[in-house]
Amino acid sequence: MSEKEPSILDYDTVTLLDEENALLIIDQTKLPGKIVLKKLKTAEEMWNSIYLLEVRGAPAIGVTAALGIYLLTKQVKVPQTDTEENYRVNFAALETEFEKQKEYLDSSRPTAVNLSWALKRMDKALLSMKVRNDLLITDVKDRLRQEAESIRSEDIEVCRKIGEYGLGLLKKGDGLLTHCNAGKLATIEYGTATAPMYLGHERGYGFHIFCDETRPLLQGSRLTAFELASAGMDVTVECDNMSASLMRTGRVQAVFVGCDRVASNGDTANKIGTSLLALAAKRYNVPFYVCAPTSTIDMSLKSGAEIPIEQRKPEEVTEMWYKERMAPENVKAYNPAFDVTDNDLITGIITEYGIAKEPFSESLRRIFDLKKKHQDSNVNNK
Query: Do 68 and 113 share a domain, yes or no?
Result: yes
Number of continuous H segments (helices) and E segments (strands) in the chain: 12, 14
List, by residue number, the catalytic residues.
260
Question: Which of 15-24, 82-91, 145-154, 251-260 is least confident?
Answer: 82-91
* pLDDT attached to residue 88: 77
Mean per-residue pLDDT over the chain, rounded: 94
Q: Do 153 and 176 have their domain in common?
A: no
Instruction: Specify the 3-state DSSP secondary structure of 207.
Output: coil
Total number of domains constituting the chain: 2
Q: Which whole number is the average pLDDT over 328-335?
A: 94
Q: Picking from 25-29, 52-56, 79-83, 259-263, which range would have the lowest pLDDT averaged per residue?
A: 79-83
Q: Does residue 2 fall inside a structural domain?
A: no
Give the distance, in angstroms, between the CA of residue 170 and the centroid of all CA atoms in the same chain: 23
| Whether the predicted pLDDT of 112 surpasses 90 | no
Q: What is the DSSP letter of 311?
A: B
Residues 153 and 238 in one domain: no
Task: For residues 162 and 355, give the distance between their C-alpha atoms in angstroms, rounded to a whole number.
Answer: 9
Q: What is the mean pLDDT of residues 331-338?
A: 96
Asked, for residue 162, whether it belongs to a domain, the answer is no
| Nearby residues of 29 by Cβ (< 8 Å), 6 or more positions away | 52, 53, 54
**Cα–Cα dist 295/284, whole Å:** 31
Q: How far is CA 356 from the centre of its chain?
A: 19
Q: How far is CA 336 from CA 227, 275, 301, in A?
A: 25, 13, 20
Query: Among the listed ranges 2-6, 281-285, 305-309, which one has the minimum average pLDDT value?
Result: 2-6
pLDDT at res. 257:
98
Least confident of 193-202, 210-219, 275-284, 369-378: 369-378
305 falls within a domain: yes
Which residues face 349 on adjacent strands?
A: 290, 356
Classify residue 193: in a domain, yes or no.
Answer: yes
Q: Which of 183-187, 299-303, 329-333, 365-369 has the lowest mean pLDDT?
A: 329-333
- The CATH number assigned to the domain holding 47 equals 1.20.120.420
Residues 361 and 263 in one domain: yes
pTM: 0.94
Whether the CB-CB separation of 264 and 300 falls below 8 Å is answered with yes
> In this structure, are 118 and 264 located in the same domain?
no
**157, 186, 219 - which closes a domain:** 157
Which residues lie across from 25 on neighbouring strands?
A: 14, 38
Residues 345 and 219 in one domain: yes
Mean pLDDT within 128-140: 84
Residues 228 and 357 in one domain: yes
Task: Tell me the residue ranges of DSSP E strands in 196-280.
Answer: 208-212, 234-238, 254-257, 261-263, 268-271
pLDDT bucket at 1, cuts 50 / 70 / 90: very low
Q: What is the pLDDT of residues 311-330, one digit of tens each?
A: 999 999 999 878 899 899 99
- CA–CA dist 218, 31 (Å, integer): 10
**CA within 13 Å, CB half, 69:** 35
Once rounded to an integer, what is the mean pLDDT over residues 149-177?
98
Rounded Cα gap, residues 296 and 52, in angstroms? 21
Mean pLDDT of 271-291: 98
279 and 372 share a domain? Answer: yes
Asked whether residue 164 is domain-assigned, the answer is no
Structural domain boundaries enclosing 45: 8-157
Q: CA 261 to CA 187: how far, in whole Å?
A: 15
* Distance from C-alpha of 172 to C-alpha of 140, rounded to nearest angstrom: 49
Last residue of a domain, one of 131, 157, 183: 157
State the pLDDT at residue 89. Answer: 77
Give the CATH number, domain containing residue 371.
Answer: 3.40.50.10470
pLDDT at 167 over 90: yes
Report, as an integer, the average pLDDT of 166-183: 98
The amino acid at residue 235 is V
Query: Exposed, middle or buried by CB within 10 Å (0-12, 13-18, 19+), for 115?
Result: buried
Distance CA 293, CA 360 (A): 15
Same domain, 233 and 100: no
Write the pLDDT tens digit of every residue in 4-57.
Answer: 778 999 999 999 999 999 999 999 999 999 999 999 999 999 999 999 999 999
- Residue 79 phi/psi, 5-degree rounding, is -55, 135
In a domain, 165, yes or no: no
Q: Is residue 104, in this structure, part of any structural domain at all?
A: yes
Residues 249 and 363 in one domain: yes
Domain match, 140 and 176 both: no
Distance between CA 320 and CA 324 in Å, rounded?
Answer: 9
| 134 confidence band (pLDDT: 50, 70, 90) | confident
Q: Is 21 part of any domain?
A: yes
% of the chain with per-residue pLDDT over 90: 86
**CA 355, chain centre distance (Å):** 19
Same domain, yes or no, for 153 and 200?
Answer: no
